[in-house]
Amino acid sequence: RPLKIDTIIKEVVKFIRASIPATIEIRQDIHSSSLVMGNPSQVHSILMNLCTNAAHSMEDRGGLLEVALKDITITQDAKPGQVDLKNGNYVELTVSDTGTGIAKEIIDSIFEPYFTTKGPGEGTGLGLAMVLGIVKSYGGQVGVKSSLGKGSVFSVYLPVTQKHEMSSPCEFEPLPHGTEKILLVDDEAAIAVMGRQVLERLGYSVTIRNSSMDALELFRSKPDFFDLVITDMTMPNMTGERLATELMNIRPNIPVILCTGYSKQITDDSAKEMGIKAFVYKPIVKSDLAKIVRSVLGYSSTTISDEPALSDDPEKAEA
């Protein structure tokens, strides 16, 4: 259905601002209110992926993250040089950063699944492949320009629609809350931090680990501390699938939610056979995560706790 991207941008920027270091400045340059055909959750995911990657490239030195939106008309004589688009009216969504940049010799490979410019244990490289897949399904394209040491510019082109029955990306509905203790495991630190913030706003106490081995060691030392484990599927050293098995060997009744960005790794049936309570695809938006977590835990705890969130150290949390 038709939707306005400018509203989604404001939501994502607000969320990102609370999740990244203060040394990273965020600017918005919005000059379009055009409608595009799309799914609000998927467009939200596109922005989250691009902004998260941009912020990650500036974690050490800080910098500027800019999100811009404008209308453009593609003609035979006026086409962006980096993408192949049919003639017509488009919105151009640009996410730029002043981070580390991408080397020229690998820039053509960054949209391939599992390709990543991050170091070992810092990510699986699935985000950009998903971004490109979603954008192409809408009849759009993604372009990128980058220079080592200077930063990157990602441009998303989506065709404008003339339909006016708009789908609101901000249709608020009461979300289920809880007060349980959750262990969140993801080797991408930025995604783990964002996930923790979402869950803490829903009332949960969240501990994060960026290594499946660290998560297993923590769980082994405190097997009855957590009420739920949410783990990424693709991680170095030990996959989320293997981690789930090890956790359930320690405590058979621990609920586990397995997250992945790549659908061929594991099926719903195989996940259930392993005893995994839920199997979901990344990236997950807040409303979906709230419902899935509450469904797995049951609906006995549905109010936000007045207690502060627990420390990342379970020993301190119990003190």
Ordered domains of the chain (ranges, CATH): 2-159 (3.30.565.10), 181-318 (3.40.50.2300)
Q: How confident is the model at residue 145 (pLDDT cuts 50, 70, 90)?
A: very high
Q: What is the pLDDT of residue 167?
A: 46
195's CB contacts (< 8 A; 6+ apart) are 184, 186, 206, 208, 230, 289
What is the pLDDT at residue 58? 92
pLDDT class for 251, splitting at 50, 70, 90? very high
CA–CA gap between residue 195 and residue 208 (Å, rounded): 9
* Residue 156: predicted pLDDT: 95
Q: What percent of the chain has pLDDT over 90?
A: 38
What is the pLDDT averaged over residues 255-284?
70
List the single range of 125-134, 235-244, 305-314 with lowest mean pLDDT.
305-314
